[in-house]
Structure 1
Amino acid sequence: MSLQLIPGARLIAATHNPGKAVEISAMLEGRYEVITAGSLGLAEPPETEVSFIGNAILKARHAAMSAGIVALADDSGLSIEALDGDPGIYSARWAGPNKDFDRAMEVIEHKMRIARETEGKTSLNAWFTCALSVAWPEGHAVVFEGRVDGRIVFPRRGDKGFGYDPIFQPNGYDITFAEMDPDAKDRISHRHLAFEQLRAALF
């Protein structure tokens, strides 16, 4: 089936965050009318899959099949080699219901220290992943994945980003995501890479 959507078509962003819908609309160059699952009264499904791709597809299919409209969902997070890929798909959960990423970064620092001292795991390698899925009401879904590799740094540096940005330094740079100009970060981010693939397929 063709993946291309008619310009101006309605597209559900499988989120209850209006700001995210605005961001998605901008990423799609304003070609579609992006509405949120929350604005339609759709419940958020439990994220029961074990991968970013699985969760993105699950959320997109749930929204599309519930509302009868093409839907877009994403799942993203930070994976750390020394922590066997954690926090991974649980990146948001580590910050808790109040989205306390300061606390989450303290937990990461503690866990990495324990892994180093008890298991000899000294790797600082880490990567951000973003999986984007587009789903149709009949259940068909496609997925695009972006990844940016780097290393974990402590103490935290920078205040321009959000989430785990202050402890992530992308490969090829000597500054963290949180020290970068937002436009510069957006050009190399995992979300940008995933959306580039999505735009190529939809436009």
Structure 2
Amino acid sequence: MTSFVFVTGNANKLKEVKAILAAGDGSIQVTSKAVDVPEVQGTTQEVAIAKVKAAAEELGTACVTEDTALCFEALGGLPGPYIKDFLAKLGHEGLNTLLEGFPSTKATALCTFAYSSGPGSEPILFEGRTEGNIVPAKGPGHFGWDPIFAPIEGEGLTYAEMDGVAKNKISHRYRALEKLRIYLSEKAEKQTESKWKGLMG
């Protein structure tokens, strides 16, 4: 059994992570804790590494942080990791307005899970991407920018219009978390093998 603390105060993110992990073999257990970590400026990768290092020092245990970016092709990758602030200031309609006059509405949803096995350890990053387009808001508006992102694989639906099971099969969060799940499962298997070898002499 492998476990880690998912550093988040976002109930929706925690719900999705638990649902995705539950679809696996059940060998990974996750608890959550909200930790006030510094918001550094930089690339998605730099932000992720800084956050998980700070969280591991604060908690003193294995932990995972998550960073989500929404990268507009027309804006050279912006808002990127600053999408939360852009959304808070502009709303769904304002984010659409940013693309007025540009020939492309293409966007990439990017999720980065950063894993630390504990204080002082070097973080490992797991990224997932889903390609789509920015569209006028459709569907429930309770989960961030989901109403304005229509994944190419979503058959014309936005994330917000999709049910949880369908979204979790193609989402950027699922793709990143699946890489993390495989890593942790393989790590647990190696630890078990090493333990048995030690017992067998």
Instruction: Place the TM-score, normalised by the shorter chain, in its bin.
Output: 0.7 to 0.9
State the alpha-carbon separation in 1 of the partners of residues 110 and 76 from structure 2. 15
Residue 83 (structure 1) aligns with: 75
In structure 2, the partner of 1:12 is 5
Q: Percent identity?
A: 34
Secondary structure of 1:28's partner?
A: helix
Matched residue SS, 1:45: coil
Partner of 1:199: 181
Question: Structure 1: which 5+ residue stretches go unaligned?
Answer: 1-6
Q: 1:24 to 1:168 in 2, by over 3 A?
A: closer
Query: What do the CA deviations read for 1:40-86 (whole angstroms, capped 9, x no partner)?
Result: xx4x2222142222222221111112222011000002111112222
In structure 1, C-alpha distance between the alignment counterparts of 2:83 and 2:128, rounded to whole Å: 16
Greater CA drift, 185-194 or 103-112: 103-112
Tell me the amino acid that sits aligned with residue 137 of structure 1.
P
CA distance in 2 between counterparts of 1:193 and 1:201 reads 13
Q: In the comparison of the two structures, how many residue pairs are matched?
A: 179
Residue 132 of structure 2: aligned partner: 150
Query: Under a length normalisation based on structure 1, what TM-score does the superposition of the two structures give?
Result: 0.78
Cα distance in 2, alignment partners of residues 182 and 160 from structure 1: 14
| C-alpha contact (below 8 Å) 1:167/1:176 kept by paired residues | yes
| Distance in 2 between residues matched to 1:84 and 1:139, nearest whole Å | 33
How far does the alpha carbon of each residue in 1:102-149 deviate from its partner, in whole angstroms, 9 at most, with x for none? x42222122212xx1xxxx31111110000010121232101000000
Tell me which of 92, 98, 105 is aligned to 2:84: 92
Q: Return closer, same or farther for 1:23/1:112 CA change in 2, 3 Å cut-off.
A: closer
Shift of 1:170: 1.2
Instruction: Provide the residue aligned with 1:69 in structure 2.
Output: 61
**Is the CA contact (8 Å cut-off) linking 2:87 and 2:95 kept in structure 1?**
no
Letter in 2 for 1:192: Y
Match of 1:129 in 2: 110
Q: Report the 3-state secondary structure (helix = DSSP H, G, I; strand = E; otherwise coil) of the residue aligned with 1:191.
A: helix
* Counterpart secondary structure, 2:91: helix
Q: CA RMSD in A?
A: 2.3
Gaps of 5+ in 2: 186-201
Conserved in 2, the CA contact under 8 Å of 1:126 and 1:149? yes
Secondary structure at 2:128's aligned position in 1?
Answer: strand
Displacement, 1:158?
2.2
Measure the CA separation in 1 of the matches of 2:96 and 2:125: 32
